Amino acid sequence: MKNISIYRPSTVEEAIQLLSRHGTEAGVYAGGTDLLIRLKNRLKQAPTYLVDVKKIDNLRYIKEDAKGGVAIGTATKLSEMADSELLQKKYPMLVQAINMISSPELRNASTLGGDLLQEVWCQYLRGGYSCWRNGGYLCYGAIGDNSYYHSAMGGRLCYAVYPGDAATALIAFDARVKLATPGGVKELSMEQLVPGDMMVDGRIQSHVVRFNEILTEVVIPPPKPGVRASFEKLRPRGVWDFAMASLAMSLQVRDKTIEDARVVFGGISGKPLRETHVETFLKGKTLAADLSDQAVSIALANAAPLKYNSTKIDMAKGLLASGLAKMSAVA
Amino acid sequence: MHAIEGILFEPVGCLAEFPAEPFHEIATRLFGGRRKTSKSGSRAYWHLLNLIEAADRKLDPSEREMVESLEVQAVDGASAYDDVVPALSELKAIGTRLLVASSLSNAAVTRFLERSVPREHFSAMWSRDNAGGVKALPLRSALHCASLNPERTMFLTDTAEGLKVAKSVGVQSILMMNDPDEAKRLAMHDPAGGIVSLYELPDFVRLLAARNA
């Protein structure tokens, strides 16, 4: 492992100054369940200067805001979210999704910010191949074994899938985020935060956060009346793997009529993928068992599987069918 | 890799999928021997170029007519990739110089540009006729006449021969990963980079610019 320097700032402002000073050589260090592994894997792209944000007090909280929504500090551990009564009461689907991330031990170390901004888990990147994300110019996943963690919906240089589950669930709630930047606070929707492979500061990454910015808060709007939400995830090993396909779905239902729908797939694309065609189809329909066949038939029409991963599309469609079936059974 | 100023395109396999049969036919008629059965138009083409280069002789007028006619037939049977025109337009918009550097005859390249990809996308067109030979010669002519630095120039190819030629000229060899199994094999030849779709090429150029800024 290369030599690293660790800074322990006590304020967000100080952390931003440190990040600005070291440019892309620096990285935010919180739970370390992604970053430390990148260092151990000796990846070229791993930072040399770690800015440890764990000592910054005002990044770790879960609190109800004035509008009835919930604000979560990004240094909050996933286990704290999983144990939160407030989240369980207001957004049980989010707690369900968080409980499916990794293992209890890792949830006790991982933070919400780390889960949202984690690096992809492509075996070629993590194995030190000189790929797009590791200083090289070729995606080995596109031509090698892409059965598990590569996109079945096309790619943009890198074909690895976005691995986080929290973002997939939070997009279904229309959550927003706050970024601390040298120029002040910036607000984005969760979708804008993780739009898929982007070139940011000369690097390819799944999110838009620049080298001198820190993700500080996630804000979830108050639950809408009549909302029903579900999260489902298929993974190679049920204990702790990343999603081969996942689905976060949120339906606002009144008198069995779907007034609004959010359908977000995870694990199949370079970003949490909103399936807007299905959302449009569902709006105004009566929530009933026969809905799923039609929804599945129009879902993921622009799928572009690689050689070994077309099964991910079948899995995603299966999750859509089962999710709608469960929701209609409750109705 | 340096920031990129120009890209050289060999239409066969990089801008369009060509049929293999006309190239096999040319090889058999010019050089005899057993007919190759590769289904890949690119491989058949580069095999033919190897034979032409090894023979090191000028074609007589009747041979030349036959070759041109079969090459035009290949062009007529070729299907340009969907991503060619949008990718070339974007590359041109970001200031990348685009040149055709092909070992096809002038007649075949001209026909290709009339039929499949508008000529306006390219600042120059080099064929084996105006370059005076095949394989490396069209690339060298294109580089020289456009005053392009080879290290700042890409050549796209989907064959091992193409990669070799690019390296011999000193340009950045970029593998078109049209077929994953073939691409996996060709990745062992250490290309400078690789793309799955031409849509990725503008991002590639922008990334290099950013990394070299």
Q: Taking phi first (over 0 means left), then psi (-120 to 50 degrees means alpha), and beta for anything else, what does residue A131 get?
A: beta
pLDDT at A146: 96
The token pair that represents B197 in the structure block: 């779709």
Edge-to-edge strand order for the sheet containing A26-29?
Answer: A5-7, A49-52, A26-29
Give yes or no for B170 touching A (CB within 8 A). Answer: no
Q: What pLDDT shows up at residue B34?
A: 66
Strand order in the sheet with A257-266: A227-234, A245-254, A257-266, A273-274
Is residue B213's pLDDT more than 90? Answer: no
Query: How do strand A227-234 and strand A245-254 relate by DSSP bridges?
Result: antiparallel
Question: Within 13 A of A102's CA, how many CA atoms are on the CB side?
Answer: 22
For helices B200-212 and B84-93, the axis angle rounded to 10 degrees is 30
**Token pair of A66 as six digits:** 């004035």
Q: What is the mean pLDDT of residues A169-174?
A: 98
Residue B157 has pLDDT above 70, yes or no: yes
Query: What are the tokens at A200?
Result: 């940011």
| Exposed e or buried b per residue across A179-215, where buried means at least 16 C-beta atoms within 10 angstroms of its C-beta | bbbeeeebebebbebbbbbbbbebbbbbbbbbbbbbb
Report the DSSP beta bridge partners of residue A179.
A186, A215
Element (H, E) at A169: helix A166-172
Q: Please state the separation of Cα A77 from the chain's center in Å.
A: 15
**Percent over 90 (pLDDT), chain A:** 89
Cβ–Cβ contacts within 10 Å for residue A99, how many?
A: 17
Cα Rg of chain B (Å, integer):
16
Q: How far is A156 from chain B (nearest CA, A)?
A: 6
Contact B211 A202 (CB under 8 A): yes
Read off the amino acid at residue B106.
Answer: N
Topology of domain A227-330, CATH: Enolase-like; domain 1 (3.30.390)
pLDDT in tens, A186-226: 999 999 999 998 899 989 999 999 999 999 999 999 999 99
CA distances from B37 to A126, A157, B33, B69, B158 (A): 40, 33, 12, 21, 18
Average pLDDT over residues A6-29: 96
- pLDDT for A45 equals 85
What is the reported pLDDT for A43? 87
| Interface contact flag, B210 A199, Cβ < 8 Å | yes
What pLDDT band is residue A241 in, cutting at 50, 70 and 90? confident
Closest-CA distance, A306 to chain B, in angstroms, reads 9
At A111, give phi and psi (nearest 5°): -110, 165
Nearest by CB: B203 against A136, A156, A202? A156
CA distance A77 to A82: 9
* Residue A96 pLDDT greater than 60, yes or no: yes
Q: What is the pLDDT of residue A318?
A: 97
Q: DSSP for A247-259?
A: EEEEEEEETTEEE
Of A104, A115, A93, nearest in space to A264 by CA:
A93
Residue A109 Cα to chain centre, angstroms: 17
Give the start-to-end residue ranges of the domains of chain A. 227-330
Q: How confident is the model at residue A11 (pLDDT cuts 50, 70, 90)?
A: very high
- Mean pLDDT (chain A) is 94
Q: Taking residues A81-91, what's their average pLDDT?
A: 97
pLDDT of residue A331: 55
Contact A140 B200 (CB under 8 A): no
Residue from B190, B196, B203 whose CB has the most chain A CBs within 10 Å, to mutate:
B196
Q: What is the DSSP letter of A149?
A: T
How many whole angstroms separate alpha carbon A204 and alpha carbon A196? 10
Q: What angle do CA B145, B150, B153 make, to 5 degrees?
A: 95
Please report the pLDDT score of residue B127 as a whole number: 96
At B10 the pLDDT is 96
Q: What is the CA radius of gyration of chain A?
A: 19
How many percent of chain A have pLDDT more than 70?
100
ipTM of the complex: 0.88
Enumerate helices (H) and strands (E) in chain A, giving the number of each. 14, 14
CA–centroid distance for B184 within its chain: 20
Cβ separation B207–A138 shorter than 8 A: no
State whether A202 and B213 contact (CB < 8 Å): yes
CA-based nearest distance B206→chain A, Å: 9
pLDDT above 80: residue B90: yes
At B35 the pLDDT is 63
CA distances from A235 to A36, A163, A185 (A): 23, 11, 36
Domains present along chain B, CATH in parentheses:
6-17+81-212 (3.40.50.1000), 21-76 (no CATH)
What are the pLDDT digits (tens) for B27-37? Answer: 999 888 766 66
H helical segments located in A41-145:
78-82, 85-90, 92-99, 104-107, 112-117, 123-126, 140-143
